[in-house]
């Protein structure tokens, strides 16, 4: 059988794993698709770099166009990252009738609909399983496994780097900076880790999951985003004392006409299955009207888990090639839903305040909550070990985001409050 020729853009963490799997599992892959899969050319930034896989130097190029324009190549595997220039490469590859497999959530969250439309026009596949939750086959699950159901809620720990950091801070008391460096060394973090720690990477993944799960176009701008860079060991200790774990959680909901979608550090009840997802592991909880609760778990980043998804997509492309059905599987969102307004978004909150240690302070604070109709589940006041202020730890009942934001604004003006130290969403379903 004629070999299927692959052009690889990138030979970093993920690209290296792709080479290992394609070469190491050749026989298995061949018997599934009926053809050898051959990596024909590889674009890298530097051809002089020492690589941890053996590569024929003649296959390397520093010019991605050389790979895209090679008429011998059937499938482009894009694992180099980047947005604008990379979009040009992929559009040109599709224009030339090449199928595309990518791990690039930045690109798919921002330009996925344009790329998928071009793919359909050219009867090509664009598969991107590796872009969300690394090794977990969540994209295929949402497209195929839940095609019969209406998804109402998706909650996800979808960034491996931040989950690794929070776990190490929580379980080993490690410092944020040290663990971030470790995550970078292990190949989990993005080339600019700001997008991991500030929540943007997770937001991009949630936009992709929301689009597929709710079959409506979820834009990146729809996602409210807060990262973990200001989470302290003290916050994590408080969370644990109260029976919660701190996780960077993506939460998306869908009703008949509206969606809500956000990413933020969240205190999740210790008995919720998402609370025990640790280290680089990711998990996506999907609630469907008919199926009820489901959850998918696995490594969210790293060389081999991510490469597993890439090569599975490659196998899917080749199977489609054999059947002559490429380009038919793109999900085109067909529903139009609006973002829910903040007066209709309800959840519980944790708030840690540093206040003057004198009579009447607590009364002033509870008065503000009452004014905006935010009722309180618990209030604990204690002296602060490090300075003369007192600490007040409050957990609210479910309140609208709009009202809770008004409480915070009011607190900024209140003289007895020295500092709003921390505020977190609380999930205890």
Ligand X SMILES: N[C@@H](CC=O)C(=O)O
Establish whether 11 is an annotated binding residue.
Answer: yes
**Nearest approach, Cβ of residue 417 and ligand X (Å):** 36
Using CB under 6 A as the binding rule, whether residue 17 contacts ligand X is answered as no
With beta carbons less than 8 A apart as the criterion, state whether 161 and 200 touch: no
Calpha distance 87→111 (Å, rounded): 8
Q: Which stretch binds ligand NDP (CB under 6 A): 13-21, 23-31, 222-230, 406-414?
A: 13-21
Using CB under 6 A as the binding rule, whether residue 187 contacts ligand NDP is answered as yes
Calpha distance 277→170 (Å, rounded): 13
Task: Print the binding letters for residues 212-231 with ligand NDP: x by CB under 6 A, - otherwise.
Answer: --------------------
Q: Which does 15 bind (CB under 5 to 8 A by kind): Na ion, ligand NDP, ligand X, none?
A: ligand NDP
For 350, the enclosing helix (H) or strand (E) is strand 346-355
> Phi/psi of residue 351, each to 5°?
-140, 130
Q: Which stretch binds ligand X (CB under 6 A): 34-42, 153-161, 388-396, 401-409?
A: 153-161
Comparing CB distances to Na ion, the nearer of 13 and 309 is 309
User: How far is residue 387 from each of residues 379, 384, 421, measured CA to CA in Å?
Assistant: 20, 6, 14
190-219 b/e (C-beta count within 10 Å ≥ 16 → b): beebebbbbbbbbbbbbbbbbbbbbbbbbe
Comparing CB distances to ligand X, the nearer of 159 and 264 is 159
One of 127, 128, 188, 238 touching ligand X (CB under 6 A): 188
Q: Which does 156 bind (CB under 5 to 8 A by kind): ligand X, Na ion, ligand NDP, none?
A: none
In the residue annotation, 205 being an active-site residue is answered as yes
**Nearest approach, Cβ of residue 248 and ligand NDP (Å):** 16
Q: DSSP assignment of 105-139, as one string?
A: HHHHHHHHHHHHHHHHHTT--EE-GGGSSTTS-HH
Using CB under 6 A as the binding rule, whether residue 317 contacts ligand NDP is answered as no
Nearest to 72 by CA among 101, 44, 40, 42: 40
Comparing CB distances to ligand X, the nearer of 41 and 205 is 205
For 288, the enclosing helix (H) or strand (E) is strand 281-288
> CA 275 from chain center: how many Å?
16
Establish whether 396 is an annotated binding residue.
Answer: no
With beta carbons less than 8 A apart as the criterion, state whether 254 and 216 touch: yes
Comparing CB distances to ligand X, the nearer of 161 and 400 is 161
| Beta carbons within 8 Å of 268's beta carbon, 6+ residues apart | 244, 245, 246, 247, 249, 274, 275, 426, 427, 428
Which residues between 28 and 57 bind ligand NDP (CB under 6 A)?
A: 43-46, 49
Establish whether 2 is an annotated binding residue.
Answer: no
With beta carbons less than 8 A apart as the criterion, state whether 280 and 186 touch: yes
Q: Which does 159 bind (CB under 5 to 8 A by kind): ligand X, Na ion, ligand NDP, none?
A: ligand X
**Nearest approach, Cβ of residue 363 and ligand NDP (Å):** 51
With beta carbons less than 8 A apart as the criterion, state whether 266 and 426 touch: yes
**3-state secondary structure at position 265:** strand
The count of other CB atoms within 10 Å of the CB of residue 249 is: 23
Calpha distance 396→374 (Å, rounded): 7
One of 106, 125, 196, 235 touching ligand X (CB under 6 A): 196
Task: Print the binding letters for residues 107-146 with ligand X: x by CB under 6 A, - otherwise.
Answer: ---------------------------x------------
With beta carbons less than 8 A apart as the criterion, state whether 131 and 209 touch: no
For 75, the enclosing helix (H) or strand (E) is strand 75-78
Comparing CB distances to ligand X, the nearer of 131 and 340 is 131
Calpha distance 146→235 (Å, rounded): 37
> Phi/psi of residue 337, each to 5°?
-130, 150
Comparing CB distances to ligand NDP, the nearer of 13 and 340 is 13
Task: Print the binding letters for residues 133-172 with ligand NDP: x by CB under 6 A, - otherwise.
Answer: -x--------------------------------------
Using CB under 6 A as the binding rule, whether residue 80 contacts ligand NDP is answered as yes
Q: Which residues bind ligand NDP (CB under 6 A)?
A: 10-15, 43-46, 49, 64, 79-81, 103-104, 130, 134, 187-188, 190-191, 301-302, 306
Binding site for L-homoserine, by residue number, is: 190
Binding site for NADP(+), by residue number, is: 9-16
Binding site for NADPH, by residue number, is: 105
Q: Which residues bind ligand X (CB under 6 A)?
A: 134, 159-161, 188-190, 196, 201, 300-301
Catalytic annotation, residues? 205
């Amino acid at each position: 059988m004629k070999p299927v020729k692959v052009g690889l853009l990138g030979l970093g963490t993920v690209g290296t794993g792709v080479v290992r799997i394609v070469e190491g599992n050749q026989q298995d892959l061949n018997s599934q698709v009926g053809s050898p899969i051959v990596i024909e050319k590889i674009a890298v930034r530097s051809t002089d770099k020492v690589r941890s896989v053996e590569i024929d130097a003649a296959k390397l190029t520093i010019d991605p166009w050389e790979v895209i324009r090679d008429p011998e190549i059937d499938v482009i595997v894009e694992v180099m990252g980047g947005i604008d220039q990379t979009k040009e490469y992929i559009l040109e590859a599709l224009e030339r009738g090449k199928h595309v497999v990518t791990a690039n959530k930045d690109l798919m969250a921002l330009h996925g609909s344009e790329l998928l439309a071009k793919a359909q026009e050219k009867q090509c596949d664009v598969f991107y399983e590796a872009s969300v939750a690394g090794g977990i086959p969540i994209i295929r699950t949402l497209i195929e496994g839940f095609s019969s159901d209406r998804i109402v809620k998706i909650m996800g720990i979808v960034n491996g780097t931040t989950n690794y950091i929070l776990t190490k801070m929580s379980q080993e008391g490690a410092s944020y900076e040290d663990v971030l460096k470790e995550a970078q060394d292990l190949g989990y973090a993005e080339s600019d880790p700001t997008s991991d720690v500030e929540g943007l990477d997770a937001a991009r993944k949630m936009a992709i999951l929301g689009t597929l799960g709710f079959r409506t176009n979820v834009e990146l701008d729809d996602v409210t985003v807060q990262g973990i860079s200001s989470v302290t060991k003290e916050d994590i200790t408080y969370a644990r004392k109260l029976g919660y774990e701190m996780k960077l959680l993506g939460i998306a909901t869908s009703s008949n006409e509206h969606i809500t979608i956000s990413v933020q550090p969240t205190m999740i009840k210790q008995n919720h299955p998402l609370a025990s997802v640790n280290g680089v592991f990711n998990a996506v909880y999907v609630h469907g009207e008919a199926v009820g609760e489901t959850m998918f778990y696995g490594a969210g980043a790293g060389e081999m888990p991510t490469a597993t998804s890439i090569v599975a997509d490659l196998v899917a492309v080749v199977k489609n090639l054999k059947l002559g059905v490429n380009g038919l599987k793109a999900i085109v969102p067909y529903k139009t839903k609006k973002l829910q307004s903040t007066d209709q978004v309800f959840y519980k909150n944790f708030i840690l305040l540093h206040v003057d240690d004198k009579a009447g302070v607590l009364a002033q604070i509870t008065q503000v909550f009452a004014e905006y109709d935010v009722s309180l589940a618990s209030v604990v006041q204690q002296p602060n070990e490090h300075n003369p202020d007192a600490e007040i730890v409050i957990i609210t009942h479910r309140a609208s985001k709009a009202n809770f934001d008004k409480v915070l604004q009011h607190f900024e003006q209140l003289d007895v409050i020295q500092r709003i130290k921390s505020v977190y969403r609380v999930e205890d379903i």
